[in-house]
Amino acid sequence: MDNYGTHKEPHVQAWLKTHPRFVRHFVPTSSSWLNLVERWFRELSEKAIRRGSFVSVPDLKQAIEAFMQAWNQNLKPFIWSATVEGILKKTDRARVKMEQIKPGSTRPGGKKKTVDL
C-alpha cells in the first residue's frame, strides 16, 4: 500500500482484519516498481480498453483476458531506464522553477531566508 488513504477507511480496515492472509506492506508513493505496475495498466488501458465498446462486464473481462493472453505470448519486461544523474538533473530543474514561482518554497520547512539589515 502506498500512502494514499483508501486503506485507512474503516470498512477496509475491518475487511483486512477478517482476512489475515493479506499481509500489508507499505511502500512510498511513486516507488519504482509501482510505477512499472502502473505502466502495465496503461498498456492494458490503451491497447484493450480505451477505444473499446463493451456492452457488459463479461464483454469487458473477455477483452482484458484476450489482452493478457496476447501479452503473455511475447513477454518483455519493463526496464527502469532512468539514471541517477538524470533524476537529479530533473529535480534540480524543478527546484529552480519552484524557487522562481515561490521563493523559499524548496528550503526545509518552506521558510524564506531572511536578511538582517
Calpha distance 26→16 (Å, rounded) = 14
Q: Is the dihedral of CA 79, 81, 84, 90 positive or negative?
A: negative
Query: Where does the pLDDT of residue 94 fall: very low under 50, low under 70, confident under 90, or very high at 90 and above?
Result: confident
**What is the average per-residue pLDDT within 68-94?**
86
Q: Does residue 107 surpass a pLDDT of 70?
A: yes
For residue 14, the one-letter residue type is A
pTM to 2 decimals? 0.48
* pLDDT surpasses 90 at 6: no
Q: What is the pLDDT of residues 12-33, one digit of tens each?
A: 889 989 998 988 777 666 667 7
Terminal-to-terminal C-alpha distance of the chain: 50
Distance CA 8, CA 12 (A): 7
- Residues 70 and 64: their CA atoms lie apart, in Å, by 10
Q: How confident is the model at residue 110 (pLDDT cuts 50, 70, 90)?
A: very low
DSSP tag of 49: I
